[in-house]
Structure 1
Amino acid sequence: MASFDFDQAEGLRRMLAGPKPRIVTFLSATPQDDKGAMLVNLGASLAQSGNDVMIVDACTRDYGVAQRLGVDRGPSLLQVARQECALNQVIHPVPQGFSVATMARMAPASADEARRLAKTFDVLVKQAGSIIMVDGEFSEFSDGGTFPVPIMASSEIVVQVSTSAASITNAYALIKRLSQHLGRRPFGILVTGATEAEAKVVYDNMSSAATRYLAVTLTSMGSVPADEYLHRAARLGRAVVDAFPLAGASVAFRRLAGRFARTGMQQGRAA
C-alpha cells in the first residue's frame, strides 16, 4: 500500500508539473543580422499561435536578439547567478509577443560561477514557458569548448544556413565541430533567403554529406524566402507576421512555427 501511495503521489506531482519546456538552440552560418531577424519573426509567429515563448540571448560576441530589440542594457542571468539581482529583473516582455533574457555579456570567471549560471538557467527554463529559443553563436566554441550551460548541449540544435557556397561550407564545418564535441546526434537545418526548391537542394546536399562523412543525421526544419517585407517590418520595429501578414515570409514563418510547435526535431522528417 505504501508503494502504491508513493506512486500515486509521484504521478500527481508530474501531472501538476505540466509538460517539460522545450529548448531549441539556434546557431548560424549566415550574416549576424539574419539570425536575429529569423528568431524575432519565428518567436512572434509561435506567440501568435498561442505558445508561451522566451528567447535567451547567449551571444557574447555577435549581434544578439537582446541588442536587436533594445533590451540588452539590463542585468543578465550571470548577475542573477552572482546574487546581484532577482530573476524577474532579467526577463523583458517585448511588443512582438514573447520575452527576452540575456544570459551573460562575458564568460563566467570560475568553474563555480559557471555552475551557478547553469543552475540559474535551469530555474529560468522551469518558469519561462513552453518554448525556450536560445540565440547562440559559433564563436562560443573553442578547441576544447562547450556551450555556456550544459543543458544547451542536450537541447535541440538548429543551424541556420543560406544558399551561398560560403554559408553552406561554414554550416557543414560547424556541424562537424559540434558532432566532435557532442557526439553523434541529429541537427536541424533551417534554410533562409531561399525558395522551397532552393532550400531542398541545400538540405539534400548537406544531409548526404553529413550522413556519408560524419555519420550524422540532419533534419530539415523548413525554409524562409527572401522578402523585402522582412526589412520593412524590421524598420517599423515589428514582426513581419504582424505588420504584413500576407507576405511570403509571413506565410513561411507561420508554417515554420506550426512545425516547431507540433514536433521536436528528433521526430521530424526531411522536407
Structure 2
Amino acid sequence: MASFDFDQAEGLRRMLAGPKPRIVTFLSATPADDRGAMLVNLGASLAQAGNDVLIADACEREYGVAQRLGVDGGASLLQVAQQECALNEVITPVPQGFSVVKLARGPRGKGAARPAGPDDIRRLANTFDVMVKQAGIVMVDGEFSPDNGFPLPVMASSEIVVQVSTSATSITNAYALIKRLSQQFGRRPFGILVTGATEAEAKVVYDNMASAATRYLAVTLTSMGSVPADEYLHRAARLGRAVVDAFPLAGASVAFRQLAGRFALPKVPSFGQGSSAHFGT
C-alpha cells in the first residue's frame, strides 16, 4: 500500500511539473555562416508549423545566431541572473517567427559580460531553467570549449546534434568533436545533420561516420536528415528572411519542413535507438 501511495504521489508531482522542456544543443563542424543559416531556417520552419521556438545563443568565441540576426547588442541572460534586468527584456522576437536570447555577452559584445565564476554559472543555469519552461522547443547555438566543457551543465544532458558538410575537413572535425564529447560525457548517442549535400552524398557521409563511431568509439550516431545546397538559401538570407517563407517551393524549404517535422516530435525518432539513416526525399 505504501508503494502504491508513493507511486500516486510521484505521478501527481510529474503532472503538476508539466511537460519536460525540449532542449536540443547544436554543434557544428561547418563554417559559421552555414551553421547560422541552418539554425535560422530550422527555427523558422518549426515556428511556421505552430511551435513556440526559442534559440539560445551560447557562443562566445564564434559567430553566433544572435549576431547573425543583429540582436546581440542588448542585455544577456547572465544579466538577468545577476538581477540587472528582467527576463522579458532579453528575449527578442525576430521576424522569422521565433525568439532569440544571448546567454552572455563575450568579447564580441559591447561591454563584455561573462560568467565570473561558479556562483555566476549556477545563477545562470537556474535562470536558464526558468526560461526554457516558457518555450516549446529550445535550440541552443552551442560551442564545445577547448577545455572540453559547455557554458551550462544542461547542454551536456540535452539532445546533441552535430552539423557536418561533405568536405573532408568538416567530416574530420565532426568526428574529432564527437570523440571529445564521448570522452568527456561517456557513451551516449549523438545526432548527425548533413548540410549542403544531396541525399546520396549525405547518406555516404553519415554511413561512414556512424561506422567509424561504432567501431572505434562505441558510440551510436543517429541520422537527423540532410539539407541540400540551394541558391535560394542565400537569396532568402539577403532578403533577411527564412527560405521557407521567401521561397516555400525551394528544395531547401522542403528539407527544412521535413526536419522541422522530426524535431517537433516529443522525442527524436530512434534517438539513441540505433544508427539507421532516415533521409527525406
In the superposition, the TM-score normalised over structure 2's length comes to 0.90
For 1:118, the equivalent position in structure 2 comes to 125
Equivalent position of 2:109 in the other structure? none
Q: Which residue of 1 aligns with 2:155?
A: 152
In structure 1, the partner of 2:165 is 162
Q: Which residue of 1 aligns with 2:91?
A: 91
Q: Distance in 1 between matches of 2:169 and 2:130?
A: 38
Instruction: Report the RMSD for the aligned CA atoms in angstroms.
Output: 1.8
The offset of 1:111, in angstroms, is: 1.1
Name 1:63's counterpart in structure 2: 63
Q: How far apart are the structure 2 equivalents of 1:6 and 1:216?
A: 36
What SS class does the counterpart of residue 266 from structure 1 fall into? coil
Residue type of the partner of 1:58? A
Give the whole-Å Cα distance in 1 for the aligned partners of 2:190 and 2:167. 20
1:86-113 superposed Cα distances (whole Å, 9 cap, x missing partner)? 1111101111111100001234111111
**Structure 2 partner of 1:109:** 116
Q: In the aligned structure 1, how far is the partner of 2:130 from the partner of 2:194?
A: 32
Gapped regions of structure 1 (runs ≥ 5) = none
Q: Residue 136 in 1 paired to residue 139 in 2?
A: no
CA distance in 2, matches of 1:217, 1:190: 14
Between the two proteins, what is the percent identity of the paired residues? 83
Instruction: Quote the residue 1:34 is aligned against.
Output: 34
Code of the aligned partner of 2:129: D
Q: Distance in 1 between matches of 2:187 and 2:260?
A: 27
Contact 1:58–1:64 (Cα < 8 Å) also in 2 = yes
- Counterpart of 2:142, as a letter, is G
Q: Give the whole-Å Cα distance in 2 for the aligned partners of 1:248 and 1:40.
A: 16
Deviation per CA, 1:147-195, whole angstroms, max 9, x where unpaired? Answer: 1110110000000000000000000000001111111100000000000
Residue 80 (structure 2) aligns with: 80
Kindly provide the CA deviation profile for residues 68-127 of structure 1, in whole angstroms up to 9, marking residues without a partner as x.
111111100111111111111110111111110000123411111111111111111112
1:73 is paired with a residue whose SS is: coil
> 1:91–1:100: 8 Å Cα contact kept in structure 2?
yes
Q: What residue number does 1:15 align with?
A: 15
Q: Does 1:235 align with 2:238?
A: yes
Give aligned pairs, total. 267
User: Aligned pair in 2 of structure 1 residues 225, 9: CA closer, same or farther (>3 Å)?
Assistant: same
**Alpha-carbon distance between aligned partners in 1 of 2:15 and 2:97, rounded to the nearest angstrom:** 27
CA distance in 2, matches of 1:20, 1:267: 20
Please say which of residues 257-266 and 160-169 is displaced more in the overlay.
257-266
CA distance in 2: counterparts of 1:117 and 1:219, whole angstroms = 31
2:195 aligned to which of 192, 196, 200: 192
Deviations 1:21-49 (A, max 9, x none): 11000000000110100000000101111
Question: How far 1:11 sits from its partner (Å)?
Answer: 4.0
